[in-house]
Structure 1
């Protein structure tokens, strides 16, 4: 009795889809044959395939993609299936699964065009739903869901050679250590000198309001020229708290508790990172909750820094690698550098439509793997470095923070085998804040 659903596809190009579909059908109780699970190295595979189609197959599914339509193996399988179709006098024996959005009907075998294909192009889930309806209509035999077999196949296919190895491994991170900080956090009683509506962010050095005080690492005289109501200031009105006391969680000062003080430190350092970009040849884009920095085309020779591509072409667009930073105080004092990809048409002005940016980011990002993201992040940070090889943040006229442009490394007692990229799903490693719509006027150049 025929009961096998045979899946014909291009290998390895369509392996991921075929694995997924095979496991879905087996889990629902169908008997499925696909070479991703059945064939092992060293077997004389063609006689096995031909026998399966001729003797056991009740439905022949062929995955239609740019890769499959010219594959010799797929064409041979289709030829056998067409003979079985005539033998069984079943016009619905062959079911094409249209998977590839780039595949037009002009490219498809004329015999297959005549058949009613199932559309998997927009959604695998929707395609599966239509396929199951077809199988139900044709009374294809199935048993109860065979989840044990699904688990067994999953373990054999996906977990093979993926166990933890007892091997020391050094891992890179996106944490860049802050190696020097100002000694004290200062609270200047300057609220009286700040006009209503004045934007504190416009001050030359990082500062934030706390009650009646201007909280900052800078000295009071660093702000006198920026505040029109101030000509003199009594230093006795300033409260200083040792920064190490705050970071080490020692008893709070009378005006502020430790938790609030740490929040202020984080805010000031984040602002210091942003202000430090003002003398770098980068452009900035204000996102909803962070600021990203990117490089225009033409700033770097051949759009590379230390042989690492930071600007490139995507059809009619240019992609620009970018970063944003967030301060972390525990377990390490560091800047956490997040990755972004931005797009322009001319190499200078960001594309304003959020949807176009989002679609282009997904397309570009899926072609990059861990080492690509790591190398671009390292290159960008080294591009930002000052002459001494560090990123120096000016927190006041005499106050500085210094960050290393080489990341923190972690040592692990276990390791793993690198997987085959062809078998990996697409995973986004970049920050893709879909709500961060680009609004004209908020992008600001800081190229000197």
Structure 2
């Protein structure tokens, strides 16, 4: 007999994504992991096993799970694995209006420090934290898993601010409107090369020395995500020539609008 209260507590304490299904659970974990992690809730026995892609594409009729429900369930589990990964790495977490963002911390990217990126050809670098107009800006991302048209993580750039009070982290700002105004003013001069460079530098922090970002779905079931973004060729282009080289983006005096208050050009 499984007691709901004990099962709910065990689910909260389990370090990997898992979903309640009736008196049982849906998990990527092996039987031995379940035996240890859920011992306080009761004894569990493997009843069904199904390939992941089949589950997402067709659902699972034996449990009455339709295709869309199955897809949403797996997306939620991958999201939980992503959140656990970023928290374990020590990124600065911030709850935006519709999603969680993770940003480079002072320990990962000291103020004004360049993060190298690029595995082929010349190594390049970009800043993920710096001071501008009396504030410390911290680059970060929000990630959302998608299965169409192929499996991928859609990554959205974020910028979080704190007041520069001569400490490494700065003083946090809780006012969403104030943060929005700072993004519009401080980031308005960032060009595509700045955003591109910062994104690739952040991916370097995520993956480290590996070519993959490894999300743990269980102790023995990692989800490997290529750290390099997908490349494509656009059929259209801007009418203005792009003449800046890879590192010029950091020296562009218009980057943050007011070079007299910005130390980035001197870093």
TM-score when normalising by structure 2: 0.75
Determine the structure 2 residue equivalent to 1:266. Answer: 75
Determine the structure 1 residue equivalent to 2:175. Answer: 353
| SS in structure 1 at match of 2:74 | helix
Determine the structure 2 residue equivalent to 1:254. Answer: 62
Among 231, 245, 250, the residue aligned to 2:54: 245
Determine the structure 1 residue equivalent to 2:135. Answer: 317
Matched, 1:339 2:147: no
Distance in structure 1 (CA, Å) of the matches to 2:29 and 2:97 = 27
Superposed displacement of residue 347, structure 1: 4.2
Determine the structure 2 residue equivalent to 1:69. Answer: none
Note the 1:194-213 alignment, pairs <5 A: 194-195=5-6, 198=9, 200-213=11-24
Distance in structure 2 (CA, Å) of the matches to 1:356 and 1:261 = 39
Determine the structure 1 residue equivalent to 2:240. Answer: 419
Note the 1:287-298 alignment, pairs <5 A: 287-298=96-107
Note the 1:10-409 alignment, pairs <5 A: 192=3, 194-195=5-6, 198=9, 200-227=11-38, 229-230=40-41, 232-235=43-46, 238-247=47-56, 249-250=57-58, 252-255=60-63, 256-300=65-109, 302-306=112-116, 307-345=125-163, 346-348=167-169, 349-409=171-231
Superposed displacement of residue 327, structure 1: 0.4
Superposed displacement of residue 344, structure 1: 1.1
Aligned-residue CA RMSD (Å):
2.6
Superposed displacement of residue 228, structure 1: 5.7
Determine the structure 2 residue equivalent to 1:41. Answer: none
Superposed displacement of residue 201, structure 1: 4.5
Moved more, 204-213 or 216-225: 216-225
| SS in structure 2 at match of 1:324 | strand
Offset from partner CA, 1:133-169 (integer Å, 9 cap, x none): xxxxxxxxxxxxxxxxxxxxxxxxxxxxxxxxxxxxx
Equivalent pairs, count = 228
Determine the structure 1 residue equivalent to 2:250. Answer: none
Superposed displacement of residue 333, structure 1: 0.4
Superposed displacement of residue 196, structure 1: 7.3
Q: Is the 8 A contact 2:2 2:23 kept in 1?
A: yes
Name stretches of at least 5 consecutive residues in structure 2 with no aligned partner. 117-124, 243-267
Q: Is the 8 A contact 2:7 2:38 kept in 1?
A: no
Superposed displacement of residue 420, structure 1: 7.3
Distance 1:298 1:261, change over 3 A: closer
Offset from partner CA, 1:281-307 (integer Å, 9 cap, x none): 322123344221112224325432112
Offset from partner CA, 1:246-288 (integer Å, 9 cap, x none): 34x2474321111111111111111111111233132212334
Distance 1:281 1:304, change over 3 A: farther
User: Highest Rg: 1 or 2?
Assistant: 1
| SS in structure 2 at match of 1:246 | helix
